[in-house]
């Protein structure tokens, strides 16, 4: 049997350095908007988004909130140890529970200058309101235990002493303004280490316009992990190990997925969430006790014939059995060309790095048209990546 191949070479394009938007525009909704529909491309401004959305649309927003995940500790020798928070270990592996921990917690981290942090050596961060200590529990796995002498939650503590984790490709120092500009207006739940950047274009004026014309809004949560920036290092993209992220969806989210006419995902993280909910329903169809854990292979190995309605009804039934209005899970869904979308009809997204998991998702959504879309964006001076311009893409 021939091994399937998705050649990474097919998803490369030349991105000039001066097209990377290193800073946001002064006004969020003044970014350019490329609209792709029925194999036709039009250009507009994001503030005019509603003129391109059918009245029956429901927009699904990711309301995760970026935490200042970079913590800098100074040793007495003068060496700086940077601890980058990845995902919690204790008192819970669930981000939303770990962020309200008090007194102590443990996180899996990446550690800069690790060789200068000997075992059994406490690091100290002195703040006017508390002292934070860090102890290396497991060097190989990067497990760090934090303890502090105040009643602050871990979320409050990180907010006071952490630094915004800007994407590495911006290649610039963090500015005070980034704490606000690298955050969506509707962010609510602490836990992301990267922003769901498609949402950065929304202003209150644009959100109000959606309300005025009756376009529905749903808010779900996927805590974006640092894995979103991991490059694909294999020529066959299918051999890449996809990162895992935590998500939370509500009963109202699932009901909206069932009843709306046209599902518009605001960002690739919302795509990953919506499609993962479908596959959770497929798992429940064969095993009502299945956990909400979607691996990168599930979308290609689970039964393919189950309808969206059947799958989502299974999720609602699970909520009914467990008497809950929200369900939390984990997903490593890997959307590559050949994937068949079950929930998402349109996608609002920025312009992504060459040969990345995000460009593979876009190519899955619009097919080979992604090349034409990116050529148009480059030739029309669009700004790329996290602080860049936007697109509205419809699939057939």
Confidence at residue 121, expressed as pLDDT on a 0 to 100 scale: 87
Confidence at residue 206, expressed as pLDDT on a 0 to 100 scale: 98
Mean pLDDT of 271-291: 97
Confidence at residue 3, expressed as pLDDT on a 0 to 100 scale: 65
* Residue 2 pLDDT greater than 70, yes or no: no
Whole-number Å distance between alpha carbons of 210 and 62: 16
Question: Are 60 and 264 spatial neighbours (Cβ–Cβ below 8 Å)?
Answer: yes
Confidence at residue 147, expressed as pLDDT on a 0 to 100 scale: 97
Q: What is the mean pLDDT of the chain?
A: 95
Mean pLDDT of 263-278: 98
Provide DSSP, 35-97: EEETTEEEEEEGGGGGGGS-TTEEEEEE-EEE---EEEEE-TTS-EEEEEEEEEEES-SSHHH
Q: Express each pLDDT in 160-212 by its tens digit.
A: 999 999 998 999 999 999 999 999 999 999 999 999 999 999 999 999 999 99
Q: What percentage of residues in the chain have a pLDDT greater than 90?
A: 90
Cis before 194? omega within 30: no
Confidence at residue 165, expressed as pLDDT on a 0 to 100 scale: 93
Question: Are 384 and 374 spatial neighbours (Cβ–Cβ below 8 Å)?
Answer: no
Question: Are 369 and 376 spatial neighbours (Cβ–Cβ below 8 Å)?
Answer: no
Confidence at residue 42, expressed as pLDDT on a 0 to 100 scale: 98
Q: Express each pLDDT in 311-367 by its tens digit.
A: 999 999 999 999 999 999 999 999 999 999 999 999 999 999 999 999 999 999 999
CA neighbours closer than 13 Å in the CB half-sphere of residue 318: 28
Provide DSSP, 240-274: S----EEEEEEHHHHHHHHH-SEEEEESHHHHHHH
Q: Express each pLDDT in 54-93 by its tens digit.
A: 999 999 999 999 999 999 998 878 789 999 999 999 999 9
How many residues make up the chain in this entry?
396
- Domain architecture of the chain: domains with CATH: 8-66+184-394 (3.40.1780.10), 70-163 (2.40.10)
* Residue 138 pLDDT greater than 90, yes or no: yes
* Residue 376 pLDDT greater than 50, yes or no: yes
Confidence at residue 22, expressed as pLDDT on a 0 to 100 scale: 97
pTM of the model: 0.94
Confidence at residue 1, expressed as pLDDT on a 0 to 100 scale: 47
């Amino acid at each position: 049997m021939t091994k399937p191949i998705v050649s990474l070479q097919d998803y490369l394009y030349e991105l000039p350095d001066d097209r990377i938007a290193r800073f946001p525009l002064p006004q969020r909704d003044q970014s350019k908007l490329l609209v792709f529909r029925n194999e036709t491309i039009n250009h507009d401004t994001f503030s005019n988004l509603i003129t391109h959305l059918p009245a029956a649309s429901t927009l699904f927003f990711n309301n995760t909130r970026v935490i200042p995940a970079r913590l800098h500790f100074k040793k007495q020798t003068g060496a700086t140890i940077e601890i980058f928070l990845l995902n919690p270990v204790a008192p819970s592996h669930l981000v939303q529970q770990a962020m309200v921990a008090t007194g102590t917690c443990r996180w899996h981290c990446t550690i800069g200058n690790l060789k200068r942090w000997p075992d059994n050596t406490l690091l100290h961060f002195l703040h006017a309101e508390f002292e934070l200590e860090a102890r290396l529990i497991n060097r190989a796995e990067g497990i760090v235990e934090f303890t502090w002498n105040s009643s602050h939650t871990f979320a409050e503590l990180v907010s006071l002493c952490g630094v915004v984790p800007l994407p590495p490709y911006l290649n610039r120092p963090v500015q005070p303004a980034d704490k606000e500009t690298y955050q969506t207006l509707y962010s609510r739940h602490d836990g992301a280490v990267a922003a769901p950047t498609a949402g950065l274009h929304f202003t209150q004026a644009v959100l109000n316009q959606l309300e005025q014309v009756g376009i529905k809004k749903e808010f779900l949560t996927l805590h974006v992990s640092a894995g979103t920036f991991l490059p694909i290092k294999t020529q066959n993209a299918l051999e890449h190990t996809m990162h895992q992220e935590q998500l939370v969806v509500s009963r109202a989210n699932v009901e909206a997925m069932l009843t709306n006419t046209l599902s518009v995902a605001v960002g690739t993280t919302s795509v990953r969430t919506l499609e993962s909910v479908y596959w959770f329903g497929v798992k429940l169809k064969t095993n009502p006790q299945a956990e909400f854990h979607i691996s990168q292979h599930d979308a290609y190995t689970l039964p393919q014939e189950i309808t969206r309605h059947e799958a989502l009804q299974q999720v609602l039934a699970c909520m009914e059995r467990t008497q809950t209005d929200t369900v939390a899970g984990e997903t490593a869904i890997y959307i590559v060309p050949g994937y068949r979308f079950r929930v998402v009809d349109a996608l609002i997204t920025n312009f992504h790095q060459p040969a990345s998991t995000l460009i593979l998702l876009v190519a899955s959504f619009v097919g080979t048209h992604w090349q034409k879309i990116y050529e148009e964006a480059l030739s029309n001076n669009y700004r790329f990546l996290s602080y860049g311009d936007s697109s509205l893409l419809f699939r057939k």
